[in-house]
Amino acid sequence: MPSLLDLSDEIIQQIGHEVHGDTSIPLPSFRPHTENFKHRFDPTCADDYNRLRLVCRRIKSLLPLRNLHIGIDNMEKLDLWVVKAPTEVLRAVTRLKYDITRPYDGKPHHLWLTLTSFLSSLENLEEFYLSSPPFCGHLDDKEEDLIRRRRLRLRLPSYPIFPKVKSFANEVACSECSAFLQPLLIPAMPSLRHLKCTSIDTDLMTSEPIESLWEMRNKHELPVVEVETLYMAIDVYTMLPSEFRATLGDRLPKLKELVIMCRDVAEPAPLRPVFKISAETVKSSDEKWKWHLLDNWNEHMYRDPDDDADEDHDEDPKTVNDVLGLFDTCQHLESLDTTMTIELADFTRRPQYPTWTRGASPSSTSDTRGSGKTEMITDEYEYLFREAIKQVTTMFIARIPSLRTIRWWEDLARIGGRVGDYSGQKRTWLRWESRIEREESTGEDMIVVDPTPQRFTHDFYRNFDGARDPFAP
């Protein structure tokens, strides 16, 4: 009777590839801050593969231990890995999630040395989730200066700790710890390609920006220019337009995918559009649309409401063309989502759309379209909205020819009528997507807008990475 052992080495290796759960998990495995699905990080992904390795010595030799996902959620587990983990197992770890939520009550230097030593032993680590800080006394200790002094003495070791890490997600909620650890860790990642963070500007704890720290750490490496994917959550009043342009062009010239979430960090953490564009239909002109920038940058991004000085705001975008100019240096950009909203001045009613649920699988949805009572207005509205998206997409493509996908947001609370729970801070948004597709018959590129937008509820998009004020009353 034929058996598994009758198969060739190549087929057995292919079977092992197919049964390993990591095979179907992309790099990066994290998603933007607005897409709070269930984590794709899976410590059980290698279980079937490892069971197959136990069949016999031949199969074990053909299927080396590989692609392990390890979650560290308590100090006992960290100590166990440091003391007892075999070298073969350490070398097989490719994804790590550090999520010790219990405050560390020992000396920070002891934990820091233990952690960095452990990280350096994972020589094939490719993805690192920092979900909780190694130590955070902020939530219980109000002595801010003491905490800062203790942490400022921490430094990276001279030996490499992230030589092969390509994907890093900073998901720390504490704003102080997030801001401190990010510029401390990123310069130790010379192979970094995918980054999820809360800011890449000057850190609160140092006068040096990240690229300067990178250059000091990696004397023979380029600064942070190889990053291709950037998911960034920023707060209202965070970033000046000149800094925005420098971040994208000067520091990240090879950027291919950019997603920026802007939010008000105060409860209930509502989403804030980076730009608001109004599309007004024009009936007596060759131009179908007239474009307006409804709210300029300084009202929604960085200006202190108590600051009356205007000398620092000369570069604020005033028109849609000014917004386009911010991306001129991103000539490799393929996908863009900066929570830009489009509003039509001519319509006030909206349909219902499928809703995503926090923690659910991406393939699962709930809710359906509305009852059809506004079907005629809905069809006309959606036709005009898609036409507006196509034209503004054309404007972006003309400035950034490499673009292939752009996402646009629609605030349901801004549409007249205040439907259901869409008003106030816990509002619901729609996200539309336009993309470039090749027409098979002509071979020409054309702009396609998805017929049905994705619906984002407040519970689904709400995100507190780097947004918790540890000293708030």
pLDDT tens per residue, range 305-316: 444 444 555 566
d(CA 419, CA 456): 15
d(CA 460, CA 271): 11
d(CA 353, CA 53): 46
3-state SS assignment for residue 6: helix
Per-residue confidence (pLDDT) for residue 421, from 0 to 100: 37
Residue 49: is its pLDDT beyond 90?
yes
d(CA 152, CA 187): 16
Lowest mean pLDDT among 179-188, 231-240, 437-446: 231-240
> 305: Cβ–Cβ under 8 A, 6 or more apart, which residues?
none
Per-residue confidence (pLDDT) for residue 222, from 0 to 100: 44
Per-residue confidence (pLDDT) for residue 411, from 0 to 100: 81
> 222: Cβ–Cβ under 8 A, 6 or more apart, which residues?
none
Q: With pLDDT > 70 as the criterion, what percentage of the chain qualifies?
A: 69
Mean pLDDT of the chain: 77
Per-residue confidence (pLDDT) for residue 14, from 0 to 100: 95
Compute CA distances 68 → 32, 50, 91, 126, whole Å: 23, 10, 9, 11
Q: Do residues 456 and 431 lie in contact, with contact meaning Cβ atoms separated by under 8 Å?
A: yes
Q: Do residues 381 and 350 lie in contact, with contact meaning Cβ atoms separated by under 8 Å?
A: yes
Residue with more model confidence, 269 or 275: 275
Q: How far is CA 66 from the centre of its chain?
A: 27
> 178: Cβ–Cβ under 8 A, 6 or more apart, which residues?
133, 170, 172, 198, 465, 466
Mean pLDDT along residues 355-372: 59
d(CA 196, CA 212): 20
> 241: Cβ–Cβ under 8 A, 6 or more apart, which residues?
297, 315, 316, 317, 326
Residue 210: is its pLDDT beyond 70?
no
Q: With pLDDT > 90 as the criterion, what percentage of the chain qualifies?
A: 32
Per-residue confidence (pLDDT) for residue 35, from 0 to 100: 93
